[in-house]
Amino acid sequence: MARTPLMAGNWKMHKDHLEAIQLVQQLVYHLDADDYQRTEIVVIPPFTALRSIQTLIDGDRLDIGLGAQNCHYEAAGAYTGEISPPMLAKLAVRYVVCGHSERRHVFGEDNETVNRKVRAVLAHGMRPILCVGETDEQREAGDAERIVGDQLQAGLEGVDDAQATEVVIAYEPVWAIGTGKTATPTDANDMCAFVRGGLAERFGEDVAQQIRVQYGGSVKPGNVAELMGRSDIDGALVGGASLTADDFAAICRYHRL
């Protein structure tokens, strides 16, 4: 079953709304109809830039999707400083990152919180990008599969078969994020295949074959083609290299590298 590759640029806490407009304009300058047809391309700016980029996408009829980096799981309420799923849906946000390792490790999000977010995102018609991944110590201790398997199953608790194909999983080994260290294509693919096996156990083989599993962790123009050549890697969640239009465009055009 052919899965459309998904290249998503997670800008983290970078770019104000004016810089964000400039980056998207530079990015689309490098892309053409063939790229959009082969690959789904998504930018994930900070909340403050969502409205400006939505307006740019609408006004110029750009063929790129919009994502958010996080959200609260409640639809509204006394949660000072939080952003709700319906607020994001109203901005035509298509994807919401749930459980990024920086949310888990810096902000203390546990599997239960991540799962509430995944379900809230689905309930409001958007697609979660559920991030899973082991730390260096966990890998060294031989615990990588157990940790990733637990994060996957807990993150998808209560998600039904019909919703499952809307979900994207991003396998992001924590030791490879923002460090310049990339998992070897074989290691990355093995873990993405392990994730797909977990999805098959949960939802059955047919559904698992439709779910996209991304790799994330120091993806750049120099390593993307080899990663994308593997059977179970369906795209990349890209941090640092998505902040430069040339680099992210090259990643989106990996088939030409």
Contact with ligand PEP (CB under 6 A) among 233, 238, 250, 252: 238
Cα-flanking dihedrals φ and ψ of residue 221, to 5°? Answer: -55, -35
Query: Which of these, 196, 204, 192, 202, lies nearest to 235 by C-alpha position?
Result: 192
* Residue 87 vs 170, nearer CB to ligand PEP: 170
From 72, 100, 109, 124, the catalytic residue: 100
**Cβ contacts of residue 186 below 8 Å, gap of 6+?**
230
Contact with ligand PEP (CB under 6 A) among 172, 232, 234, 247: 172
In the complex, minimum distance from the CB of residue 241 to ligand PEP, in angstroms, rounded to a whole number: 6
| Residue 172 falls in the annotated catalytic set | yes
Contact with ligand PEP (CB under 6 A) among 129, 217, 224, 248: 217
Instruction: Note the Cα 41 to chain centre separation in Å.
Output: 11
Where does this chain touch ligand PEP (CB under 6 A) — which range of 40-48, 57-65, 119-127, 214-222? 214-222
Instruction: Return the structure tokens found at 219.
Output: 């993806």
- Kindly state whether residue 216 participates in binding ligand PEP, applying the rule CB under 6 A: yes
77: left (phi over 0), alpha (psi -120 to 50) or beta: left
* Residue 175 vs 203, nearer CB to ligand PEP: 175
**Tokens 């110590």 identify what position?**
137
Q: What angle do CA 11, 236, 172 make, to 5 degrees?
A: 85
- Kindly state whether residue 128 participates in binding ligand PEP, applying the rule CB under 6 A: no
From 40, 102, 134, 172, the catalytic residue: 172
What distance in Å separates the CA atoms of residue 21 and residue 39, rounded to the nearest whole number? Answer: 21
Cα-flanking dihedrals φ and ψ of residue 97, to 5°? Answer: -75, 130
- Kindly state whether residue 66 participates in binding ligand PEP, applying the rule CB under 6 A: no
Site for ligand PEP in 173-212 (CB under 6 A): 177-178
Size of the site for ligand PEP (CB under 6 A): 14
* Residue 165 vs 244, nearer CB to ligand PEP: 244
Give exposure, 15-29, as e/b (b: 16+ Cβ within 10 Å). Answer: bebeebbebbeebbe
Contact with ligand PEP (CB under 6 A) among 49, 192, 219, 228: 219
| Residue 100 falls in the annotated catalytic set | yes
Supply the residues annotated as catalytic.
100, 172
Interacting residues with ligand PEP (CB under 6 A)? 10, 12, 172, 177-178, 216-219, 237-241
